[in-house]
Amino acid sequence: QYIAFNVQYNIMADNNTMNDADARPEAGDEDKPRDETLTSCLIFEPPVKTGNISLSGLHFIANHKYRPSEYTHLDNLLNPMWTYLTELLPMTMAPNMVTTIGGLHCGVAYAILWWYSPDFDESPPDWVVMLAGWCTIAYYTLDCMDGKQARRTGSSSPLGQLFDHGFDCICTLFFMSTVGSYLMIGGTYWYILLQTTIQLAFFMAQWEEYHTHVLPHCAGKWCGVSETNYSLGIIAVVNSFLDRVAFYHRPMEQVLAPLGDSVLKQLPAVVKELELRHFLMASWGVMGAILMALSLKRVMFHPRIASGSYPHEIRKRRLNALSKLATPLALCLAAFIVPTNAVRTRYLSVTLGLAFSLITKKMIVFSMAKMAFAVVQWDAVPFLLAALWIRFDGRLSKMGADFMLGATCLWYAFRLLRWTNVTINQICGKLGIYCFRLKKRKDD
């Protein structure tokens, strides 16, 4: 009986650790591809011989299959339109070119918004707001067409997912710029709230895919990415016809006055005193928190994290998953400790956006490659140090703070382009394809 008990105990222990089996290499298996997404990694990721992706990671990327969550009613409604528009494209156009054209819409509109509303504190001309709305709609429509073009031309590849989600990541800066400009919330913590919640929520979507291997893009059948993006575009177009200063600067007491005194008396004074633009940002903050909480719940209770017979193993996997949110949370907190009157909002926004974009793109690639993602992401350090310096050095002038953020921004731009270029070249080499051409690559 004693021997049988020990045999049974060992079998249970082996079964309990099966979820981590791919994450722990056996002796002599260093070159064998293994899933390292459940591996604890605090400060440094395992070294890679060349480039940014390991040989094991390239193997997983070559065999990667995109797994989205369910589609919404709007997705199903608009799918025939996206298919029809895709069939109008030339068969020689690479899917990544479709993605890039969509991204250029965001880039052009962002540059024009920067010119007319440098720090989101003044409303741009009506035609600029309408252009931003049109570019949002065009961008997302092309974003829905690139995958169809890939299947149509028989050129679907994991590089397409990296391109698609990589552009989504950087284009969040354009969406925030559009909303921040017509709401005129620059120079306030409301804009920081807008940016940090959007970028943290986007990171957490990739973080969820990293752990569950399923990318969420909706919360039920009625609220998803399509609804959000098209709503942003339509709302921007509508705003181009409004007197935005008069409309958004109204206190909530005036906005809700038609509901009657009985409703107003039940509202706290702090709500009635809020301007409409600030109330909308507070509402967005609550909605963003709910979306991130749902993502957190899905990861914490996913079978890869929550299965097993031993509570301490489940607790260990949950803590390991949560720890990977440390760096993006640190970026959010750093943005809030910078006094809003110490720097130009645009400089802070772009620098924070590029820092977030870099670690988010890394999470996207490492999710596809099933590589270990360290708790401490050193690419965030320049922004964190700059934020601390601006916050605690009373001798630093506003011009000096702007110069520091500008220099940090240039570093992130270089680092992002360099990292992306190396990664794309690695994937193209592994798959034997070109980035913007349908023709297969010949081995050198």
Per-residue three-class SS string for the chain: CHHHHHHHHHHHHHHHCHHHHHHCCCCCCCCCCCCCCCCCCCCCCCCCCCCCCCHHHHHHHHCCCCCECCCCHHHHHHHHHHHHHHHCCCCCCCHHHHHHHHHHHHHHHHHHHHHHCCCCCCCCCHHHHHHHHHHHHHHHHHHHHHHHHHHHHCCCCHHHHHHHHHHHHHHHHHHHHHHHHHHCCCCCHHHHHHHHHHHHHHHHHHHHHHHHCCECCECCCCCEHHHHHHHHHHHHHHHCCCCHHHHHCCEHHHHCHHHCHHHHCCCCHHHHHCEHHHHHHHHHHHHHHHHHHHHHHHHHCCHHHHCCCCHHHHHHHHHHHHHCCHHHHHHHHHHHHCCCCCCCHHHHHHHHHHHHHHHHHHHHHHHHHCCCCCCCCHHHHHHHHHHHHHHHCCCCCHHHHHHHHHHHHHHHHHHHHHHHHHHHHHHHHHHCCCCCCCCCCCCC
**Which residues are CB-neighbours of 71 under 8 A, at least 6 positions away?**
218, 224
For residue 70, give both structure tokens. 């369910």
Q: CA 360, CA 377: separation in Å to the nearest integer?
A: 11
Of these residues, 64, 105, 165, 211, which one is catalytic?
A: 165
Q: CA 34, CA 26: separation in Å to the nearest integer?
A: 10
Strand partners, 68: 215
Q: Which of 85, 87, 182 is nearest to 140 (CA)?
A: 85
Active site residue 165: yes
For residue 19, give both structure tokens. 């979820």
Q: Which amino acid is at 403?
A: F
Report, as residue numbers or ranges, the catalytic residues: 165
